[in-house]
Structure 1
Amino acid sequence: MQAMRYPLNAFLDVPQVPVSNGETGPLAGLGLAVKDIFDVAGYRTGCGNPQKFTETAPATKTAPAVQLILDAGAHFLGKTQTDEFAFSLMGQNSHFPEPVNSAAPDRVTGGSSSGSVAAVAGRLADIATGSDTGGSIRAPASFCGLVGLRTSHGRISLEGTMPLAPSLDTFGWFAKDIETYEKVAELVLSAPPSPLRGGSDGEAGRGEGASTAATSHHKARTKLLRLAALDELVLGDTEATEYRRMLSIVTTVLGEAKPAKPLTHSTDEFYWAFRKVQAHEAWANHGEWISSHAGSLGKGVEDRFRFGMTIDDQALAEANATRTAFRGELRDLLGDDGILVLPTVPGAAPLKADTPENLLAYRERALRLLCLSGLSGFPQITLPLGTVNGAPFGVSLLGPSNSDLHLISLGKSILESNNKG
């Protein structure tokens, strides 16, 4: 199994089999790429690891969320590369050549939805599915100049999907433009909420329809908020200047962004709570396979998995207590109409040639921004409004649980206003 379609290295070189799709529908004529953690009937789900691919039988059923897109008329293009077991943020899988970031070819695409974002940014696909556990939709979208939504946890079925950390995992996608993005959203968010895997979220899977929650909001009622601790996580003066410019674009449409009172916990505490919950669940899901396949994983990915072995019951309980307190605090801060604006990531995508130490430092800084949506279960959308050193840089809106469609609507208005300007 090798990556193909040089120079983008987006798709996997695997035997192609027919995949049925609807002949008509809102996505008719559009090409769909699928991240290789989602089952597609007739294809093996390799999860970014050649050994796992070899041992896995072809799927007999397509993941329901993917099937919804196919039934709406999109045609299947192929499986896309992913970081191993979706446990990375840079898009550098040691088993494959790196996907190419068409917007900044000397920089990483971001991961773990690396092949999917490369396919859409490089115009090889109109739509591509991905997932977001720790940032694997939002970071690649910011890095490659696309829109990317981390959906409310539990809103979209993850049946037929490789689990990483079930209480954090979410379904996501990339699209060639905001109009197509919205069409996909209206499809996948209209289905009944799925039972929560992992069960600790307590928010998004209660049965409130996303469209109902979204339409109960109105732009005129939007309360835009900022947290100084998040604004300060950008990398330097250049990034801070560009973030302020992006913020001015957002506030032109949504009104003044008012400073919010600092949260009880620090960004470091949120980061470690997230890391511990994620790693513990990841090891619970994949530790047995990893232990019996020594040497099958790239070092960085294996290190992250094995960190999960060190999380005892007390550490996990403390992490979940921080998570629960934060979720309640953020719920109270946002209310029904609050929107938190923040940098999606600290800056432009890191250079491919950067040192492992610098890439790790970027990852850890980025996760301090990205983990808030994961810990809360609330949706967050990144918008491609900025550029730093010639590379894309996104700004995010984080809203209450099930405000997914509302965030897309706000994002569409902001992008349209910016394009007119």
Structure 2
Amino acid sequence: MHDDHLHAFMPYPEVPVAHAPEGPLAGLRLAVKDLYDVAGYPTSGGNPLMLVRSGIKQTTAPLVQQLLDAGARFVGKTVTDELAFAMNGKNAHFGTPVNAAAPERIPGGSSSGSASAVSGHLADIALGTDTGGSVRAPASYCGLFGIRPTHGRLSLDGCLPLAPSFDTAGFFARDAATFEAVAEVLLGDDPAPLTDEPALLVAEDLFARATPEAARVLKAALTRASLRLQDMRALEETVSGHEELYWTFRRLQGREAWEADGAFIERYAPPLGPGVAERFAYARGVTDAEVEEAGRVREVFRAHLGRLVNGGDVLVLPTVPDVAPLLSASEGALEDFRTQALHLLCLSGLSGFPQITVPVAMKDGAPLGLSLLGRPGCDRTLVGLALRLADAAAVRVA
């Protein structure tokens, strides 16, 4: 990128990447998180020693190639939080991309540069990954459409792993038409589509995990949307044992993260940034007994959530508890917010079910997203419903 005033892109020498001259994504600029391989470029994973070890890649990740073959034009690889094991968008080595929708606030991560590039009009489409919220959180913070698909729906070949049983590919767009076009290219037909008029189950207990003012503005958006999407039903309790689910996610993610990167860390002792070092230290200490119990809890939860949505209904919840924290917030405050956010974000990860966040509200001058979570395999039709929700929520009532 020649005009990267947002610090969204890695400063690699520019290498041409071929794309189809025509196709459904022709004319759209594509940014790619620096976890995916792109021929002619290294893959850093947000860490300098990983960058040194990478070398120049000779092949392009299949998911990236799919977008290039549809006509998208590659414009650069984007900054990621270090080893994808963070959610604030602050990389101690490569900097913090700017949240163009709220420049005084964090962009979110770990797909920080991807969200920054799209929110700042340096790209129209961006690929990210989502393990614990790394597409959904920055999409909410930056006022974007973002999706975590059904686990395994999109290829992660040629992409650095963090926690494979949670890792998913995802993508961002600023506007509904672009988001839908990318979904059509990448998702294709659903194996388990939603019905034409699914019920929207408003998860009251999950709204209670948002700040009161954030819950209020999101509920106001739902009230506007209800004029067109009339089948909305309040559910007082959708999830029990929030704290247990949070620790279930942390333990399973931690074990898998250590399996992915532990040997690299032990051999090279790379300097890890704030928060990342502590998370890997925790990951190293997760016990077999904790993993076994966490696996049991995950299966029980997945079955429970399946009973709620497998009939074709869709859960409505806040994407995150509030707008993005300020850049000036302390590391302790950012870690506390991350913990609260993970109580909401871990539900899709633990279940493997798809979740889409849509920009529907503003609070304190910053964007705030609302999420839809559906049964596995309904991704494409869930996109259609999400776009209808976004359109309906934009209606203003005199």
The alignment's TM-score, normalised by the length of structure 2, stands at: 0.96
**CA deviation map 1:81-133 (0-9, x unaligned):** 00011111100000122111111100000000000000000000011100110
* Equivalent in the alignment of 1:213: 192
CA contact 1:229–1:267 (8 Å) conserved in 2: no
What does residue range 51-90 of structure 1 map to in structure 2 within 5 Å? 51-90=49-88
**CA deviation map 1:282-307 (0-9, x unaligned):** 00010010112224211311211221
* Equivalent in the alignment of 1:274: 249
| Offset of residue 33 of structure 1 | 0.6
C-alpha distance in 2 between matches for 1:54 and 1:4: 23
* Local SS of the residue matching 1:337: coil
| Offset of residue 159 of structure 1 | 0.3
* Equivalent in the alignment of 1:229: 205
CA contact 1:4–1:13 (8 Å) conserved in 2: no
* Equivalent in the alignment of 2:10: 12
What does residue range 254-333 of structure 1 map to in structure 2 within 5 Å? 254-260=229-235, 262-263=237-238, 265-333=240-308
CA contact 1:4–1:11 (8 Å) conserved in 2: no
C-alpha distance in 2 between matches for 1:300 and 1:113: 16
AA in 1 matched with 2:207: D
| Offset of residue 420 of structure 1 | 4.8
AA in 2 matched with 1:211: D
Indicate whether 1:406 and 2:385 are aligned: no
C-alpha distance in 1 between matches for 2:301 and 2:238: 8
Q: Structure 1 residues 299, 264: closer, same or farther in 2, change over 3 A?
A: closer
| Offset of residue 212 of structure 1 | 4.1
* Local SS of the residue matching 2:315: strand
CA contact 2:205–2:239 (8 Å) conserved in 1: no
What does residue range 15-414 of structure 1 map to in structure 2 within 5 Å? 15-190=13-188, 210-214=189-193, 217-219=195-197, 222-235=198-211, 237-260=212-235, 262-263=237-238, 265-414=240-389
- Of the structure 1 ranges 346-355 and 300-309, higher mean CA displacement relative to structure 2 is found in 300-309
C-alpha distance in 1 between matches for 2:344 and 2:130: 14
Give the count of matched residue pairs.
396
| Offset of residue 393 of structure 1 | 0.7
**CA deviation map 1:137-158 (0-9, x unaligned):** 1000000000111100010111
C-alpha distance in 1 between matches for 2:106 and 2:138: 9
C-alpha distance in 1 between matches for 2:390 and 2:339: 29
C-alpha distance in 2 between matches for 1:189 and 1:6: 30
CA contact 1:29–1:75 (8 Å) conserved in 2: yes
**CA deviation map 1:214-246 (0-9, x unaligned):** 3x5212xx12213332111112x3222212212
AA in 1 matched with 2:204: A
C-alpha distance in 2 between matches for 1:415 and 1:324: 32
| Offset of residue 6 of structure 1 | 4.6
- Of the structure 1 ranges 158-167 and 3-12, higher mean CA displacement relative to structure 2 is found in 3-12
C-alpha distance in 1 between matches for 2:34 and 2:248: 28
* Local SS of the residue matching 2:10: strand
C-alpha distance in 2 between matches for 1:398 and 1:405: 12
| Offset of residue 386 of structure 1 | 0.8
CA contact 2:49–2:270 (8 Å) conserved in 1: no
* Local SS of the residue matching 1:130: strand
C-alpha distance in 2 between matches for 1:228 and 1:267: 14
C-alpha distance in 2 between matches for 1:405 and 1:109: 26
Q: CA RMSD in A?
A: 1.6
Q: Structure 1 residues 218, 4: closer, same or farther in 2, change over 3 A?
A: same
AA in 2 matched with 1:70: L
The alignment's TM-score, normalised by the length of structure 1, stands at: 0.91
Identity of aligned pairs, percent? 46
| Offset of residue 264 of structure 1 | 6.5
CA contact 2:205–2:236 (8 Å) conserved in 1: no
C-alpha distance in 1 between matches for 2:50 and 2:270: 13
Q: Structure 1 residues 288, 37: closer, same or farther in 2, change over 3 A?
A: same
